[in-house]
Structure 1
């Protein structure tokens, strides 16, 4: 299963997401300033040599919608994305290793293999618009 097209697809999308997140610096963002998202000041202090003078990330309009945008942008900081990437990799590896340990000739194992492919198919859904996504993976 390690060379399965869906596993290859998932690993490639995760690697792309990781590259984008790391390019921003693996630091948390905060929305403590009205109409702006900034790198967490503690992260600036702790990572100054590694990331230079990080600060302003994005601006938003005033009001309820701007506040919602700001909270959303800050929540999905590079650090958060890297944490999610790590979790997704662990899910994929758990499924791949468990499937490899099962015997597809055994009915009970065959059912377990089918069950373990569901999370993999679900992990691929956010990238269904990617040209390499296969419709047969959709649940």
Structure 2
């Protein structure tokens, strides 16, 4: 189960990165022009969209990848030997589950991963 959860999370991070890079274009995206694509958006919604710009998404993707790398390095096979049913110790496993809940609406998300 742990391998599937980690693979799922890595795939979603790859999706997020691809989308953010496609939106960023030349890297100067500021959220301007949203009124052209969605003129009915309120100022608050436009501000929210600008705040969650592609650069921020890319920073979040990298932060989550660092967490996954730290878990993998810490575990180095020890977790599988000690916790064969889950792979990671409880704290590690629950934190990975928590990261994955962001993608709970994805069709590949498994309900057993809910924290």
Q: Same fold (TM over 0.5)?
A: yes
Match of 1:12 in 2: 11
Q: Alignment RMSD, CA only? A: 2.8
Match of 2:49 in 1: 73
Match of 1:21 in 2: 20
Q: How many residues in Structure 1 have an aligned counterpart in Structure 2?
A: 109
- CA pair 61-23 structure 1, distance change in 2 beyond 3 A: closer
- Where structure 2 has 5 or more consecutive residues not aligned to the other structure, the ranges are none
- CA pair 106-70 structure 1, distance change in 2 beyond 3 A: closer
Which structure features the higher share of strand residues? 1
CA apart distance, 1:101? 5.5
TM-superposition CA deviations, 1:97-126 (whole Å, max 9, x none): 21225355569xx9x711111110001101
Which structure features the higher share of helix residues? 2
- Where structure 1 has 5 or more consecutive residues not aligned to the other structure, the ranges are 31-36, 39-55
1:116-127 alignment, distance < 5 Å: 116-127=92-103
Secondary structure of the residue aligned to 1:130 is: coil
**Structure number with bigger Rg:** 1
- CA pair 23-104 structure 1, distance change in 2 beyond 3 A: closer
- CA pair 104-15 structure 1, distance change in 2 beyond 3 A: closer
Structure 1 segments of 4 or more deviating over 6 A? none
